[in-house]
């Protein structure tokens, strides 16, 4: 894979030319910044910022003002190559909090090997309604614990919104061990781009190490191939990064979510 070409396409298509997720999100391009303002349960944040040392602090202050007036917590998604070089320190000084670093990984869909099947006793359930979205939230709680209860609820609402408003742009599945949801995963499809994004995949600790995550990656890769996407993109945690590396994904950069809570 041509890493420079993939990164350039990612910047242009997924950051600079981003489109809203469903009816509740508004994309604005103001002063070199591309930002998304969603409903209370949606993701809101800064996707791209063409700034330098002379303009950074004023631009940061403007984003804080905008989202605070909207009553929204928001994320400034900082990529390791973003400028100015001290942008992270400026965000911290403005009151943002850094969350765990993630790794932006990309693979060419056609180059991925066929994945493993699911272990015995596990099946994939396609999410189509509120009941399925609730199972996704339960799987998220099983994977990450009760501390993520609010995030799980917001996730269920976002998935249901997308299934209702833009059903051609998302496929969500839950891995069911009998009647127990043990892993929730989704693929988000962006028409007009080369990229399909993989999200979720956290697995109940009692079911890790059995190939469930790899099976959900393979399932979603097949969907991307059927729909003609060139790349799969993942913001990988430290847990999923080694698995994705073995599957043939390449690292483009690291990203750090800087979150501002009014």
Report the C-alpha gap between 29 and 196 in whole angstroms: 23
pLDDT over threshold 90, residue 10: yes
Percent of the chain surpassing pLDDT 70: 99
pTM: 0.92
Mean pLDDT value of segment 221-232: 97
DSSP summary character for residue 167: G
Predicted local distance difference test score (pLDDT) of residue 168 = 94
pLDDT over threshold 70, residue 254: yes
- As to burial, measured by CB atoms within 10 angstroms (0-12 exposed, 13-18 middle, 19+ buried), residue 22 is middle
pLDDT over threshold 90, residue 150: no
For residue 243, say if its preceding peptide bond is cis, omega within 30 degrees of 0: no
Taking only the tens place, the pLDDT of each residue in 196-226 is 999 999 999 999 999 999 999 999 999 999 9
Mean pLDDT value of segment 54-62: 98
Average pLDDT, the chain: 95
Q: What is the DSSP string of 96-108?
A: -EEPPPEEEEEEE
pLDDT bracket for residue 6 (50, 70, 90): very high
Predicted local distance difference test score (pLDDT) of residue 22 = 66
Mean pLDDT value of segment 222-246: 96
pLDDT over threshold 90, residue 36: yes
Report the C-alpha gap between 218 and 133 in whole angstroms: 21
Both tokens assigned to 127:
């999410």
Q: Which residues, 6+ apart, have CB-to-CB distance to 175 below 8 Å?
A: 118, 122, 123, 124, 125, 139, 181, 182, 183, 184, 185, 203, 207, 212, 215, 216
Predicted local distance difference test score (pLDDT) of residue 105 = 98
Mean pLDDT value of segment 130-155: 88
């Amino acid at each position: 894979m041509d890493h420079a070409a993939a990164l350039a396409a990612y910047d242009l298509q997924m950051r600079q030319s981003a489109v809203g997720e469903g009816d509740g999100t508004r994309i604005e391009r103001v002063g070199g910044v591309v930002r998304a303002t969603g409903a209370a349960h949606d993701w809101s944040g800064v996707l791209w910022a063409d700034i330098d040392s002379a303009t950074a602090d004023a631009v940061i202050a403007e984003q804080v003002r905008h989202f605070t007036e909207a009553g929204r917590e928001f994320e400034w998604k900082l990529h390791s190559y973003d400028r100015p070089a001290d942008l992270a320190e400026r965000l911290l000084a403005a009151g943002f909090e850094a969350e765990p670093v993630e790794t932006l990984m990309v693979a060419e869909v056609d180059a991925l090997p066929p994945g493993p099947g699911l272990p015995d006793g596990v099946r994939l359930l396609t999410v189509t309604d509120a009941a399925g979205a609730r199972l996704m939230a339960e799987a998220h709680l099983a994977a990450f614990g009760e501390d993520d209860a609010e995030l799980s609820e917001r996730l269920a609402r976002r998935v249901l919104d997308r299934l209702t408003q833009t059903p051609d742009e998302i496929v969500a599945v839950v891995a069911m061990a009998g009647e127990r949801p043990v892993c929730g995963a989704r693929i988000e499809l962006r028409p007009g781009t080369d990229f399909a994004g993989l999200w979720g995949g956290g697995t109940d600790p009692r079911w890790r190490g059995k190939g469930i995550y790899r099976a959900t990656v393979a399932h979603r890769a097949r969907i991307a191939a059927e729909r003609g996407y060139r790349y799969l993109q993942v913001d990988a945690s430290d847990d999923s990064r080694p698995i994705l590396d073995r599957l043939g994904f390449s690292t483009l950069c690291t990203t750090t979510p800087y979150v501002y809570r009014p």
